[in-house]
Structure 1
């Protein structure tokens, strides 16, 4: 009898351990005044949140887009820090420059001078989305509309990967490029060998942030945020699809374990503590 009780308890412990172990708890949320925030980038060095503000259609060349700045506590500093963009989306920082995906252009911003240095047109691009940069300063940018990931080196843009479905979120870690494509997470090395790490997420995968060794936070713009474990299993941290609270390209303060989630048409950014 005691042995049976022991085995029952053991099975209970194993079953309990397989239940989702992570959660998001909201810390703050801005007022609904941000003109369609698509992406958030946390800058640890300057203690700033950059946000890309489309202020219109995600595919319209209207010049209404901007890059805004917020404090890590959600206080708005300047929503028009950089103006004159079209439909800005993903961002990445390298040294003193901010790189922004803006429809068919990669916009390079000098952070200290607070001005646009140049705009580089990417041939064959239609709606550039996310941006990441490797240790050498080579920029990678995705375009889900054409199924390609482009590479920008020495101000020249070329195709890096093609024949993809809807590549979106990008993150370069060590010598590998991680990218989201149509509900799946992949890793590709410098020899372009592709490895599937996780699948079965909502097909509208958007933002990706590494939270630990081979563990990631993944957002889908339709309103789901996942925790992806090392073994490829997934935990749903948040699902706001019914409320139409879209969760676009997330940012992360990994030291404090704070996830920043922009909601496109609710016009807010919210900060969540990851537990």
Structure 2
């Protein structure tokens, strides 16, 4: 009998280690957004901030929207006058948005831009993450760099980061997406490759549980990635030419929010 119980335990352990995940579509917004690039859950969890790049032909046509769970647009143009905003980060009532060459700082209570922090030599700022101490990290995909902003002062953090994009601060570590790779960077700036061979111009990065992540590729592919390097394709919309840009995640509802870029929508999926 004891042998049987041990065998059953081994089977369940094996199944759990290799359990497959999936995404169930919940809702989709109307196509009223303008090149949505990033989705970020508000601090109270009641709505999403969505960055809209705007028109490529018109400077400062970008804006931030508010979108409710269920896909209703609360405020389409909540903050306007932004220069191709992409990654978003929240810290103590301030929303940080990566513009092309500066980081805009927005007061979430008033919806006003309180300051801009220029990044010297920036070519195309992309994603943002903020650690528990309020240090802001921002990637520059064209310049292959990661910058940090501490106490309002920007400085170069890392260079030679091939097409640096998605960033995620977890404790003392910084996770970063480069060209097809997920890296873990320790406090001494030493990078370790967590996973590689990720297709689709790696873009968005969220943590769903300890040592487990979801990674999006801009061209339309989403992966479930574990810290041991294993990966599973959750979604592939490349044939439909539907992009999967800088994703957001609601851990309580286990819901993934996907900006579709040129399709001008946000699509929500439940992680199963």
TM-score between both structures, scaled by the size of structure 2: 0.92
Pick aligned residue for 2:123 from 126, 140, 150: 126
Q: Which range moves more in the overlay, 204-213 or 187-196?
A: 187-196
State the distance in 1 between where 2:239 and 2:165 align: 23
Contact 1:224-1:247 within 8 A present in 2 as well? yes
Pick aligned residue for 2:253 from 252, 256, 270: 256
Q: Which runs of 4+ in 1 moved over 4 A?
A: 12-20
1:25 aligned partner:
24
Matched, 1:204 2:211: no
State the distance in 1 between where 2:12 and 2:210 align: 25
Please report how far the alpha carbon of residue 153 of structure 1 lies from its aligned counterpart in structure 2 after TM superposition: 1.3
Counterparts in 2 of 1:1-275, with a 5 A limit? Answer: 21-45=20-44, 47-57=46-56, 62-202=59-199, 204-275=201-272
Please report how far the alpha carbon of residue 20 of structure 1 lies from its aligned counterpart in structure 2 after TM superposition: 6.1
Secondary structure, aligned partner of 2:71? coil
**Structure 2 CA distance for partners of 1:19 and 1:176, relative to 1, 3 Å:** closer
1:9 aligned partner:
none
Q: CA RMSD in A?
A: 2.2
Please report how far the alpha carbon of residue 76 of structure 1 lies from its aligned counterpart in structure 2 after TM superposition: 0.4
Contact 1:184-1:197 within 8 A present in 2 as well? yes
TM-score between both structures, scaled by the size of structure 1: 0.91
The answer for unaligned runs of 5 or more in structure 2 is 1-10
Please report how far the alpha carbon of residue 230 of structure 1 lies from its aligned counterpart in structure 2 after TM superposition: 3.0
Contact 2:219-2:244 within 8 A present in 1 as well? yes
Secondary structure, aligned partner of 2:165? strand
What is the number of equivalent residue pairs in this alignment?
266
The answer for unaligned runs of 5 or more in structure 1 is 1-11
Contact 1:44-1:253 within 8 A present in 2 as well? no
Please report how far the alpha carbon of residue 154 of structure 1 lies from its aligned counterpart in structure 2 after TM superposition: 2.1
State the distance in 1 between where 2:73 and 2:119 align: 32
State the distance in 1 between where 2:271 and 2:28 align: 15
State the distance in 1 between where 2:252 and 2:138 align: 26
Contact 2:101-2:119 within 8 A present in 1 as well? yes
Please report how far the alpha carbon of residue 221 of structure 1 lies from its aligned counterpart in structure 2 after TM superposition: 0.5
Please report how far the alpha carbon of residue 98 of structure 1 lies from its aligned counterpart in structure 2 after TM superposition: 0.2
**Structure 2 CA distance for partners of 1:81 and 1:197, relative to 1, 3 Å:** same
Secondary structure, aligned partner of 1:265? helix
Please report how far the alpha carbon of residue 144 of structure 1 lies from its aligned counterpart in structure 2 after TM superposition: 0.9
State the distance in 1 between where 2:40 and 2:95 align: 10
